[in-house]
Amino acid sequence: MLDIFKIKDEVYMKKYFIFFLIFFLIHIITRAQDGGDYCSEGKISSFSRLSKLSSIQYPGDSNIDVTYYKLDLRVYINPNSLSGIVTVKAKAASQNLTTFYLDLVNALAVSSVKLNGTSLTFSQANNQLTINLDRPYNLNEEFSVEISYGGIPTSGTGSISNASFLFTDKNLSNKVVVASLSEPYGARDWWPSKDTPADKVDSSDVWITADQFFVSVSNGSLESIVDNPDGTRTYKWKNHYPIANYLISIAMTNYQTVVDQFEYQSGKFLPVVHYCYPERLDSTRRKAVAKTIDMLRIYSEKFGPYPYLKEKYGHAEFSWGGGMEHQTVTSMGGGAMGSENTIAHELGHQWFGDKVTCKDWQNIWLNEGFASYCECIYREAKYGTLDFKSYVNNFMNNTNNGAKKAVGSIYVQNISSENEIFNSARSYKKGAIVLHMLRGIVGDDKFFQILKEYLIEPGLSYNVATTEDFQRIAERVSGMNLNYFFQEWIYGVNYPKYTVGTSWHSTSGLNFVVNFRLKQESNTNPLYFKMPIQVRVTTSMGSFNFTLFNELQDQGWELPVSGQPIAVVFDPDNWLLKDIIGTTFTDELQNLPTTFSLFQNYPNPFNPQTIISYYLPQKSYVDLKVFDILGKEVAALVNSEQESGNHNLQFSILNSELPSGVYFYTLKAGEFIETKKMILLK
């Protein structure tokens, strides 16, 4: 059977097989689960038992502008509980402010509220703490209150520690691990705050007192560790930068640290500290977290300096699956600590999500779509273009939760559902593909300039943003009107499905005109997609690339080329989220090639489908089959007589269990026989 491959040297064949087997195994090991999946699953699972979302009052009290938080906490084990004093500094956002509220579950009882040592009256109801000020405050006038409280952190439903604050890691024999995960509405489960990403404070402090068993971790830099007379130990963490309340975190257990450093300028170093479970600190985790330095270098080059150079970056293992991008110290659970892609995703959040934060949960794609595309950017810089294209293709086509599985708009319509906010197909994968398509439209230089200017834009940098803010900067940098793009891809639904038609004819000598036609299947909103599209025509004299603007549901173009056309490829670099649902070819019989031709499939590597093209100079009986690397037939695509001309067909592995690897497709037509190689990457 191997003779169909025209490989006569058995030694060469064995080497060939071993090479691609190694390539395949390395690919499977390194790809694993993408970081967005881990991130999404972790955040959804942390709130999977909540019934409170429908009753959430969001987005906090608009009558105050909070500027500072200090959490001075005492954490107890056996029985599990916490107490503390939270300092809240704020400005009046309305005239004659006499009362305001903070979000806090009723189960955490407040014992006192003080302003400059004077006790204030307060009440607790409906998971809100209402505070009566000592006098009316004028617009922008500042005040500071200290809130003493305590109890068992809950989800607001009366059950103990089942959502945003845990005391054990049930996945590790109930190991004592105290940790928080507050996104989207969980901060109120363990401390009083204005529970919205829209109101970032200028800085924060977190002091954690607990038994000396604990290494206690939070945002920012560790200012001091104090051993107390009662045998407890206090870790004092200081965050010097603006921060959203849901990014304030604690993580505590008997951590073992892995310390590294990133040289961001000659002679200047950022501490990179990983807080690991001693039981899980194996070589896999050490190798994975060691790649953080490369990621910091790549992202700093692509996006600008790491946003928190005064402090640190690192990871702390915690009780949930997946990852959570707590500012300067990402919390990692389950397999995430050993996942290169998750580490890349969560680090990307330090720029996109932490430095610039979505203003509301409707715009969560500004956090998650961007961090997901950071995975792609990292892999492109680290492993090259082939890996990058494969990774993007996986984002588009992943069978379970790729962008093509996204239901509804990227702009979240129902923020009372954590499954809607953290929808992996929509907020993560499709959000990332929107950025990929934008990059295809504006080009690499403009795209990365857009990202850099977005991150330093006054009013957005270390603040919050909406889709319209990002669109404004993208239009300013590119010089393009991109309203059509954001309207259809962020607020619209689905993606385009095309029927592609081509034909060509000679105008004189070796001058040809290719007729190219696109027809879209009707959509709901928008009715059809307006997009710049790319077409590559390969002729006997070379390749010709065209960028066209598709603004009609059924539209055609005439493309002048030199040389006999051999192949016409729509979207050759795979910039578009799309399906090709049909092809039509009506080439004129004059000036056609006189030889049989089998062309390289596209895309290659592919998943889950690819286009195989070939040319018949005369009516022929065609046999087209696909084989695995051992010569076993896996698909018979054509076994019939066909008319002369160009032929294109789609080979799909949907509903197939074919593994990743190298495959061959062989065309037999009359006396003609030719084989080409293609690669399936899942």
Q: What is the mean pLDDT of each run of 10 residues along the chain (682 residues)?
A: 34 41 40 70 59 66 98 96 98 98 96 97 97 98 98 60 79 92 94 98 98 98 98 98 98 96 97 94 85 97 98 96 96 90 97 98 98 98 94 90 94 93 96 98 98 98 98 98 98 96 89 94 96 94 94 94 91 94 62 71 83 86 94 92 82 84 94 93 82
- Spatial CA neighbour of 485 closest among 477, 498, 475, 476: 475
The pLDDT of residue 7 = 33
Measured between alpha carbons, how far is 13 from 593 in angstroms, rounded to an integer? 33
Amino acid sitting at position 577: L
Q: Where in the chain are all domains bearing CATH 2.60.40.1730?
A: 32-493
Q: Are 112 and 119 in contact (CB under 8 A)?
A: yes
* φ, ψ at 143 (rounded to 5°): -155, 165
* φ, ψ at 337 (rounded to 5°): -65, -25
The pLDDT of residue 4 = 31
Q: What is the pTM of this model?
A: 0.83
Q: Where in the chain are all domains bearing CATH 2.60.40.1910?
A: 494-582
The pLDDT of residue 586 = 59
> Taking each helix axis from N to C terminus, what angle separates 365-383 and 35-46, rounded to the nearest 10 degrees?
150
216 CB contacts (<8 Å, ≥6 apart)?
A: 75, 208, 210, 233, 235, 250, 251, 252
Measured between alpha carbons, how far is 461 from 454 in angstroms, rounded to an integer? 7
The token pair that represents 91 in the structure block? 């400005």
Amino acid sitting at position 233: R
Which residues on neighbouring strands pair with residue 90, listed in sequence order?
Answer: 66, 143
The pLDDT of residue 601 = 83
Measured between alpha carbons, how far is 274 from 281 in angstroms, rounded to an integer? 10
The pLDDT of residue 64 = 98
* φ, ψ at 463 (rounded to 5°): -140, -150
Q: Are 102 and 194 in contact (CB under 8 A)?
A: yes
Q: Which CATH number fits domain 494-582: 2.160.20.10, 2.60.40.1910, 2.60.15.10, 1.10.10.60?
A: 2.60.40.1910
The pLDDT of residue 6 = 35
Most distant pair of Cα atoms in the chain: their distance: 98
How many CB atoms are closer than 10 A to CB 123?
12
CATH superfamily of this structure's domain 32-493? tricorn interacting facor f3 domain (2.60.40.1730)
